[in-house]
Chains A and B, each alone.
Chain A
Amino acid sequence: AQKITQTQPGMFVQEKEAVTLDCTYDTSDQSYGLFWYKQPSSGEMIFLIYQGSYDEQNATEGRYSLNFQKARKSANLVISASQLGDSAMYFCAMREGGSGANNLFFGTGTRLTVIP
């Protein structure tokens, strides 16, 4: 089974509008971390936001917020007031804490296009 599922291959959003990128995950660990990264065409992976499984509050970083619904195993990224520079690939990732392994499992990504 896929550990991270991103069901939206592509999304369009009007400039200045908000957009939600979906992410669901699958783990039996109690301790895990969820990450969102942005990858522009240049290739670098830019860290956006992190949510720990024990964090009770949803993580926020500027215009980015993570809508964490533990029971549904979803960790959706919300980008408010979209800007043209937000056009990029967005990856959701998970790190499982129980096994001691440190690797990230990535989803297939969502390509976001911001329309002027």
Chain B
Amino acid sequence: KAGVTQTPRYLIKTRGQQVTLSCSPISGHRSVSWYQQTPGQGLQFLFEYFSETQRNKGNFPGRFSGRQFSNSRSEMNVSTLELGDSALYLCASSLIGGNTEAFFGQGTRLTVV
């Protein structure tokens, strides 16, 4: 069974640009959550999608957005990139959410210069 796949693995972008990251969950999993990991703030929740609907959102500005497709694949977009957006972005896949196991992808390391 394939795990959670995140693409691309590495990205370098310039301030002011926008970026789209992709996450393919484990087959059959319908819940996809996104997290940002930085040395200063640790792991912070961005948002969660379930059945193509955003079910929960963390405390991030509107420049961070996402969506989920009918096959449960999810994308997150960051517009008007800032230097502080440099981070490891991790996607987690769960069967339905709630008190079930959550599996992460390898992450996308974004560097903003």
Contacts and interface: CB of A to CB of B under 8 A. Distances in A.
B56 A104 contact: no
Contacts of A100: 55, 98
A91 B43 contact: yes
Interface stretch (B65-73, B74-82, B104-112): B104-112
Contact of A103 (B33, B99, B107): B33
Contacts, number: 67
Contacts of B94: 102
From A35, A43, A91, A93, name the one whose CB has the most chain B CB atoms within 10 angstroms: A43
Majority SS at the chain B contact face: strand
A32 B90 CA distance: 22
A2 to B, nearest CB: 11
From A47, A105, A109, name the one whose CB has the most chain B CB atoms within 10 angstroms: A47
A104 B88 contact: no
Contacts of B101: 35, 47, 50
B101 to A, nearest CB: 5
Interface of A: 31-33, 35, 37, 42-47, 50, 52-53, 91, 93, 95, 97, 100-106, 108-109
Interface of B: 31, 33, 35, 42-43, 45, 48, 50, 55-56, 58, 88, 90, 92, 94, 97-107, 109
Given A35-B102, A102-B56, A104-B102, 5 more contacts: A44-B107, A45-B90, A95-B102, A97-B99, A109-B42
